Every structure is written in C-alpha cells, then in structure tokens.
Structure 1
C-alpha cells in the first residue's frame, strides 16, 4: 500500500490515491506508520495539504519520516512559516532530525524567503545535531539565497563550500540567474554545468531563455545550435489535467485535443474578461524573436492555460481545477491564472516542478514568490 501511494504521489493521481486510502481503511492499515506516512506524502504531492495534515494529526507516535513528509508537504505548498513551526514542534517532542529533515526545512525556508531562518538552521545542523551537510543541503542554501536575489551571497557560499560543488548546486544558481536576469553569473554557472553534465538539456535551455529575455537573440540562437550539434533535445513544456479518470495532456498551441476549438473559444472569452479587469499580457515571457502580435498569441495558448480552460468547460461550476506542469510556470500564466480564478469563482491548484500554487479570488498562495 505504501508503494502504491508513492506511485500516486509521483504523478499527482489524487483520485486513485483517495481510492487507495479507502481500501487502506477497509483493510485496517490506517494506523500503520509507514502507510500513514505514504498518505501524508501522497496528499501533499497531490495538492491536498489539509488532508495530509489530518492524516498526520491522527498519528499516535509519528516517526522522523512522518515529520519529514509533513514538513515537506508544507514546504511544497509555500507554507514556509508553518514548516518551520512544525520543525520546532518536532524538536520539542524529542524526535531527532536527520539529513532529510534539514533538506525539507531548508526548502521550506527557500520557498518562503526566510533567509535568516534558513541560515540559522543550516548552521545548527553541525553545531546542535552533529549532522554534516551534504550536497543537497548546500544546494538548498544556494537556492535560498538565489530566490531572494542575494546572488553575490550565493556565489560566496559556493566558493566557501568545503566540498566541490556539484551540478545541483550550480543548477540552483543558474535558476536564480534566470529569475533575476543576471547574465554574467549565468554564463559562469553554465560553464560548470556543461563540464559536469553536458547531456542535460535544462542547462542550455535556461541560458538560451536568459539571453532571449534580454533580447540577445544571436546568443540565444548560438546556444540552440550548440544543443543541435551535441544532439541535446529540449523537453517540451506540457500540462495535464485529470477529468473523469482520464488524463488530458496539452502542449503550447495544441491542436490535437478533440475539444480544442471549444477550449480556444473559452480562452478568447476569458482573455477579453481579464483585459477588462486590468490584465496586460507580458510578452517578455515569449522567448521567440517574432512579432508582438504573434507573441501574444503564443502567450495566450501556453499549455497550463489550455488545461485550465479545459477544466472550466469539463467540470461543474465551483469545482476545484487541478493542473500539473512539467516545467516552471511562467510569470504571465501565473498572473493570468489569478485573474481567471476570480472571474470563474474557482480555486485553481497548479503544481509545477518547483511547488504548488493555489489560486483563489485573484490571489496565489505563493504571494508571487516562487
């Protein structure tokens, strides 16, 4: 049962996970710690953090894995302060944290911008708990500094590491450079990443996107040519939504779905309503050297927008729409989804590679920090 729950969690299969939960109750496994931990993890990764908390609260003697799963779920949902409070509660109960505990609590600090708290917890690993930091802890710290815009501090941290920084560490720095538009530092990170993992397409794509966002189209083109010469293929952006036990995937500008015309019509109507409410398409997120009108068309048909529109026309009014994306949600789609949630009076839960976003009444749970 724990293994099945892990499978459901990995692909955000909420409905199947709920069915497994029902079977667990029938069989009588609900008080088994490993199964309960699996439920906490599954609900957290499927966007139902309240259900994860309910399962966790019923554990009579949660072990360190239980605490880790709950803290991780809170971190993924942007509840950094709650994750920190839960970690402190864990310490008070006498449960000893392990290396994974510090990965998830540092991740929670990173997603919530809690730089000082993250720095203190990192220092306490060795000082108070006798745990030597591993590569993933250093990566979390670089991510923490980078997301907060402290790129110089992130670089200084890397330079002072007692071990050789790996691809994860440099990847965290590169991601921060993409968010804050630091081309010089991005190029340095890419040099290291290409040397460590030359086959990873994400490195080339991020650098190309950074150049494109800065209008350096020639440089962006050189990076894409480098990818072609080295036979490195980019993973296409894809979003999917489950409706009536069927998964519906979408890519940008999709034309394959049987209801695509209705989906496009719904998006056109939504776009007019959003613009009337103050929405302005941010074409800076279209990383192609094309005319402005074409940029707006591409932007309006990003995969997550298509999935959301399909969810609107395929589910009853008031139903929560749950979408999963294999890449980081772009800034314009994030803004647009806030408008859509208010217009259609729906909660929209979007899981990307970094975290969960809960859109409701024109606001997002991340507070525009992700």
Structure 2
C-alpha cells in the first residue's frame, strides 16, 4: 500500500513539474510499474489519439478501464479525431467485448462513418445494446447521416416505449426531418408529447423543420404554442426554426414577430431565416432594409445572406438590382458567388423577358451552367412564349439530363401555347420514347392540423362527391365573371381540388387566408382560375408552388405574371 501511494505521489509530482506533459507521467508509470486507473485514464485524455490507440493495446495486465473512464476517454479521442473511431472500436473488441457497454459504444458511435451503420447496428444487437436509449439514439443519428431514414425509424420503433427518453425522440425527430420525412418526423413529435416526454430544443427545432418542409401553418402554430408552454420559445435555435417555419408557410408577419421577439439573441442564421422569408415573397424593399439593419449591428453576411437577397430580386424580376447585389457581394463584402447566386440573376432577367441577355449572362459567367440554369431560362421562354429560344434551352437541358421530365413538359406547353400541335405531339412522343415519365402533380391543404393531399382527378378522398360539387359550382361562378376554360381536362387539377376542399371543410374562417401547397409549378390555366376564384369567394388565396409564393387577392397575384 505504501509503495502504491508513493507511486501515485510521484506520478502527480511528475505531471505538475512537466506542466501536464503526458510523456513524463507515462515514464513514471512504467518505471514504478504502476497500475493506477486514475493515472492511465489521465494519459488517455492527454495523449494524441494515435498514441492513445497504441496505449490501449499495451495496458498493464492487471489494468482494465472502467466503463465510465473508457467512455470519457473514447469520447475525447473520437471527437478530436473522428477517423480513429473505427480503429478504437476494433481495439476495444480485441481487449474484451464486455467493455463495450452502453457508454463506451455510444461514445464511439458519435464519430463513426455513416456507411458502416448497419455493421455497427449488428454489433450493438449482439451486445444487446441496440434497444438501449443511449446506443439506440446514436445509431439513429448514424442512420440519419447515412441517408437511411427508414432504418432510423425502424430502430426507433424497436425501442420499448418506456425506454424512450428525450434524446431518443430528439435524434429521431431531427434525423427524419433532415432526410425529408416530414410527416414521420411530426408523427414522432406528436408521440413524444402524447407519452409525456419532456421536449428539448432539438425536438422542437427538428419538428419545426418538418413543418417548414410541408409549409403547414397550423402545425407551426401548435408547436409554437407548445414551445411557449415549456419555456423554450426564447431559445435562439427554436426561435430561428420558428422564423423559418412561418416564412416557409408564407406567414411573414408572424415570422417577423418571432424574429423581433428574439432581440439581442439573434445570430446570423436567424437573420438569414427572416431574409429568406421575405425573399420568397419577392419583397426586395423589405429584404434590403433588413440587410442594412443587419450590417449596422455588425453582422458579417455570408453566401446564404446574399442568396436570400438575390432570391428576392429573382422572384420580383428585379434584374438591375440582382446584378448590383451580385457585384457588391464580391467587391464590397468579399463573398465569392456560387452557382446558386448566378442562377438567381439569370432568373431575374428571364422573368422580365430579357431572355437574350439572360442566355448571354449564363454562357459567360465563371460557373458552368447546370440543369437549374437552363431550366430557369426554359421556364422564361414558356412564360414569354418564345418558341424560338425554348427549343435551344430545352436541348441544353436534355444534354445534361436526358431524363428531365420538366424539359419535355415545358417544351410541349410552349408549343401548345403557340398553336404548334405537331411539335407538341413530337415533344410528348420523344418523352415516351426516352422512357421518361412526368412527375405527378400533388397539392395539399392543411385542415385542423391534418394535411390532405390531392392529385389530378382525385378518386380516393372520403368527401369526394362534395369536393367535385363545390368545384363545379366554383367553375360556374368564375365563368360568369368572364373566365373561359381552354380545356375541360384542366377542371380537376390537384390545386383546384385542394381549393374546393378548403372551402367545404372550413380550412380557414371566413375572411381568413386559404393556403395551398403544390409540388410542381402551378400551370397558367390554374393560376388564372385562382385569380377569378379569389373574387368569387372574396378570400385571399396563397399558393406555394415549386418556384415561389403566389398571394392572390381580388383578381391580382403578387407574382405579376412572372413565375
């Protein structure tokens, strides 16, 4: 006992004299043949990861680290050198699989490469740790990083309900939302609340990301209310997610209120979120004003900041302003533009009909144009009925991606508008010959917290007859105002069915805004129909399509015919 005490005193003295140099401590331990757990654990935390790996394989025979010390050491090692996580796992297994209890395994899982998620899951299963809340939470995160949301959800479902803690729920909610499984993410969040599990900032921000992806205002409001109840509405991460969710739902007023309520806690991400909310509406003046406020407060803008500014210019068709900001971000603010920034300038010029200038700009910009650039130009050709340029833009788009269904559809539409029926038929034939299928159009509307999805000529909804009756009634009313339908096949497009359902279900009280989301670009016929419908029902209709928001009021749309 006296020898051990003397060894420990010598070790402590050596570390103090060497200013914490682990090599000195290691030398003392070897010379004194010490097996002090505390000393060896100190070496783990002090040594470089590569040396710690070596040390782990050459520990004294009588020394085996405890689970807590191994957890701490492995966490530190794998965090400082993520590439060491897999070799560390092999070393620990070589020493004794029994050491891999919940804590050490979780520490290693945090830094594992996502590609080996199934293999590590199999190991956790063999060790009876796959349903443990600690290891399972890390595995769920690993599957989410590997873009395997189905595996993440399946693993979550295998955890006994009684064992699901806030970390399990949070990792699942965030992982599913990050992978675009928005409905599933919100479902897990609802289950967390139903089971009385405490909400965390991660769970709230993850569920808000899912609500933003679906552009569902009622769900956003519900999560906001819950955040207030649990006292997390003032958290900057939750507040930023609220700004984003309200903005994605088209409710810029509430987004601005949340933004203002965060006060001095706002960071650059928060500013970018509120800028993006206004940018989607094409409100260049408001975006510019917010940008100036941000600069006055000393924030340094980044690429996302300027992407929001340029998006507002693109949605507003403000070509001159877009070119000004593209130049300013380089010369004045030192931010190098990416392809997305140049695409916004192309979009701004295309929306106002400067198609030749937009094409010239796309061909001379320093970035090689991608499919999004040529698709933007082709869309401009459709809007401005430039058949001559549309063929060239469509060809360039198909050279990049021969399977791009939007190229064939837009070419067919521009031919149809120009009355070139033969060329229209050829476009559809070419699409079929190349084995390309048009992406199905879907529209959805939120009613009392539930999302109702519609496709063209819907046949499955439980209130089908009422929906069609209401739509036909609406068609008759808009025709009285002078609207003439070009083709009866357009009557039952998905966005019209969503509008009809919104009216019969009381999706919003009288005088309130009706909000509809569409996964594709709203067609010109439905766009015109909605303008007349807004006069018939005397309501504001907000449609979020793949390109932008359309706020339609008393026969006018905020897009001014450019989308």
Q: Distance in 1 between matches of 2:423 and 2:287?
A: 41
Which of residues 482, 487, 492 is equivalent to 1:301? 492
Q: Distance in 1 between matches of 2:418 and 2:557?
A: 27
Indicate the RMSD between aligned Cα atoms, in angstroms: 1.9
Query: Higher helix fraction: Structure 1 or Structure 2?
Result: 2
Q: Which moved more, 1:124-133 or 1:261-270?
A: 261-270
Contact 2:239 2:259 in 1 (8 A): yes
Q: Which moved more, 1:267-276 or 1:93-102?
A: 267-276
Q: Distance in 2 between matches of 1:314 and 1:23?
A: 25
Q: Distance in 2 between matches of 1:107 and 1:324?
A: 19
Aligned length in residues: 357
Q: Does 1:33 align with 2:224?
A: no
Encode CA deviations 1:266-309: one digit per residue, 9 max, x unaligned: 2222222222223333x2xxxxxxxxxxx1x2233222111111
Compute the displacement of 1:84 (Å).
Answer: 2.1
The structure-2 alpha-carbon separation of the partners of 1:276 and 1:212, relative to structure 1 and needing over 3 Å to count, comes to: closer
Query: Which of structures 1 and 2 has the larger relative contact order (alpha carbons within 8 angstroms, sep 6+)?
Result: 1
TM-score (norm 2): 0.60
Gaps of 5+ in 2: 1-203
Q: Distance in 2 between matches of 1:242 and 1:165?
A: 37
Compute the displacement of 1:2 (Å).
Answer: 1.6
Q: Distance in 2 between matches of 1:191 and 1:278?
A: 38
Compute the displacement of 1:352 (Å).
Answer: 0.8
- Residue aligning to 1:206: 410
Please list every run of at least 4 consecutive aligned residues from structure 1 whose deviation after the TM superposition is greater than 6 angstroms.
none
Q: Does 1:337 align with 2:523?
A: no
Q: Does 1:84 align with 2:275?
A: no
Q: Does 1:357 align with 2:550?
A: yes
- Residue aligning to 1:101: 305
Q: Distance in 1 between matches of 2:398 and 2:549?
A: 30
Q: Does 1:9 align with 2:251?
A: no
Q: Which moved more, 1:167-176 or 1:117-126?
A: 167-176
Q: Distance in 1 between matches of 2:358 and 2:318?
A: 15
SS in 2 for 1:254: coil
TM-score (norm 1): 0.90
Q: Distance in 2 between matches of 1:47 and 1:192?
A: 34
Larger radius of gyration: 2
Q: Does 1:138 align with 2:342?
A: yes
What aligned pairs does 1:233-272 form with structure 2 within 5 A after superposition? 233-272=437-476
Q: Distance in 1 between matches of 2:303 and 2:530?
A: 36
What aligned pairs does 1:260-299 form with structure 2 within 5 A after superposition? 260-281=464-485, 283=486, 295=487, 297-299=488-490
Contact 2:318 2:349 in 1 (8 A): no
- Residue aligning to 2:253: 50
